[in-house]
A and B are shown apart, each in its own frame.
Chain A
Amino acid sequence: DAKTTQPPSMDCAEGRAANLPCNHSTISGNEYVYWYRQIHSQGPQYIIHGLKNNETNEMASLIITEDRKSSTLILPHATLRDTAVYYCIACMDSNYQLIWGAGTKLIIKP
């Protein structure tokens, strides 16, 4: 699986859009980009995933660059409950083994 690089921490004001970057410069053509988050002392929660095209669901949007070497997770209107560690993972669709990096600790401030 491709290695991903994320900033260790970020702050965002409540109500603003939170943009979390992820670099995956060695991603291969059949690897997807997955985003999970983990609120303190809870199990991780799936957010979104994509291959090439931008994706949007009720939780977030995922913007993947054309060369697929980086992506951005967007939480459009961040709330205090979005404070969590966000993990960007690149892996093949058929490989269920997720390799977890350090993630980005996102703190939403009132």
Chain B
Amino acid sequence: GAVVSQHPSRVICKSGTSVKIECRSLDFQATTMFWYRQFPKQSLMLMATSNEGSKATYEQGVEKDKFLINHASLTLSTLTVTSAHPEDSSFYICSATEGRSYNEQFFGPGTRLTVL
């Protein structure tokens, strides 16, 4: 149980275009979803936290107008990278939690974004 999927797994786009990444909890309702970014050989960096039906909370230094997060339902959150540039190339990972008493987060497989 507790599977999180991401789509697409890989995307290559031209500079200036927007890219949408979907994160779905397949067999549970996710009260909270998280979006992370990971550059090569670095650890995960939390970008934002989102709860269904409310605005996402962004970490310091993350531009909310550039990284649009929509958490429309308890099983779906989307991250849109607007006007992508080469420096946005990274591994984007989402996670979700059922909101149980302990902090077990279920992670998606990640999306590799390459901006040319």
Q: How large is the interface on B (under 10, 10 to 19, 20 to 34, 35 or more residues)?
A: 20 to 34
A100 touches B44 (CB 8 A): yes
B36 (CB) vs chain A CBs: closest residue? A100
In the bound assembly, the distance between CA atoms of A42 and B112 in angstroms comes to 10
Question: Looking across the interface, which residue of chain B has its beta carbon closest to that of A85?
Answer: B43
Residues of B within 8 A of A34 (CB): 103
By secondary structure, the A interface counts as loop
A99 partner residues in chain B, CB cutoff 8 A:
46
Instruction: Report yes or no: B107 in contact with A45, Cβ–Cβ below 8 A.
Output: yes
Q: State the Cβ distance, B102 to closest chain A Cβ, in Å.
A: 6
A7 at the interface (CB under 8 A from B): no
Partner of A43, one of B46, B104, B109: B109
| Interchain Cβ contacts under 8 Å between A and B, 7 examples | A42-B110, A43-B107, A43-B110, A46-B104, A91-B103, A93-B103, A100-B46
**Which 8 residue pairs spanning A and B have beta carbons closest together?**
A43-B107, A100-B43, A100-B44, A44-B107, A43-B93, A43-B110, A46-B104, A43-B109
User: Other CB < 8 Å A-B pairs besides A44-B107, A98-B46, 15 of them?
Assistant: A41-B110, A43-B6, A43-B108, A44-B95, A46-B104, A49-B102, A49-B103, A87-B43, A93-B101, A96-B34, A96-B105, A97-B34, A98-B105, A101-B43, A103-B43
